[in-house]
Amino acid sequence: MVPPGSQDTGFAGTTSAVHRPRPGVPPRILRAVDAKVNPGYDRVTFEFTGDSLPGYHVEYTSGPVRRCGSGDPVVVAGAGRLVVRLEPAQAHDERGNAMFTERDRTLGLPAVKDMKLVCDFEGQVEWVLGVAVAGPYRVSELAGPARLVLDVRHGR
C-alpha cells in the first residue's frame, strides 16, 4: 500500500503503444467503465461480460480524434489524448441497447481529466481519455470479472 499523498514508485509505465490482438474470439460486451484516483496514478477500468477480454490497442495520439460513423471531431480536456480501442467488442446488448448512458464523462482527476466513447460500431469500441500530460501509463488484465485496467501516472 502506498501512503496517501505519495507517488507509486513501482510504476515505470510506458508512453509507447500497447497492442494485444485476440483474433478469433467472440465479441465481448463492455458492461461498465469506472475511473478512480489512486496514490500516484488514476485508474480507468473497463469491465466486460464473460470470462475473457477482447483484443486492445492503447496509445497516445497527436492527431485529431473523430467519432466513428459521423467523423465529427472530439475535443477532450488536457494536453494529451490517450486512445483505447477494444475489438472485437461492443458497448450495447444484443438488442442494440446501450450498456451505459454516460458516454462523455468529466472526471477532473489529477491525470485523467475526462473520457469519451467515440465508437461502438462493427465490433469496435473506442474511448479517448483527455489527460493532463501525455505521461507514462500501464495496462493490466484482471479476471473475475474480466477487466482491462489502465493506470495513468500523475504528472510531476
For 114-146, write each residue's pLDDT tens digit.
999 999 999 999 999 999 999 999 999 999 999
- DSSP-derived secondary structure letter, 67: -
On whether residue 8 sits in a domain, the answer given is no
| Range in 11-15, 17-21, 47-51 with the lowest mean pLDDT | 11-15
Question: Quick check: 117 and 102 in contact, CB under 8 A?
Answer: no
Q: Where are the beta strands (DSSP E) in the chain?
A: 18-20, 28-38, 41-48, 55-60, 65-66, 73-74, 80-87, 89-90, 104-106, 112-121, 124-131, 137-142, 147-153
Residue 144: CATH number of its domain: 2.60.40.3500
On whether residue 145 sits in a domain, the answer given is yes
On whether residue 109 sits in a domain, the answer given is yes
Over residues 42-65, the mean pLDDT reads: 95
CA nearest 74: which of 117, 135, 45? 117
Strand partners of residue 29: 90
Burial of 144 (0-12, 13-18, 19+ CB in 10 A): exposed
Q: Domain tally for the chain?
A: 1
pLDDT score for 8? 57
| CA 81/CA 86 separation, integer angstroms | 16
Residue carrying C-alpha cell 485523467:
112
On whether residue 68 sits in a domain, the answer given is yes
Q: Is the pTM of this model over 0.85?
A: yes
Domain that holds residue 83: 19-153
On whether residue 4 sits in a domain, the answer given is no
On whether residue 63 sits in a domain, the answer given is yes
Taking 60 as the threshold, does the pLDDT of residue 22 lie above it? yes
Taking 70 as the threshold, does the pLDDT of residue 70 lie above it? yes
* More reliable by pLDDT, 96 or 9: 96
User: Could you report the per-residue pLDDT of 80-112, keeping only the tens digit for each?
Assistant: 999 999 999 999 988 878 777 777 888 999 999
CA distances from 9 to 41, 113, 150 (A): 10, 22, 17
On whether residue 2 sits in a domain, the answer given is no
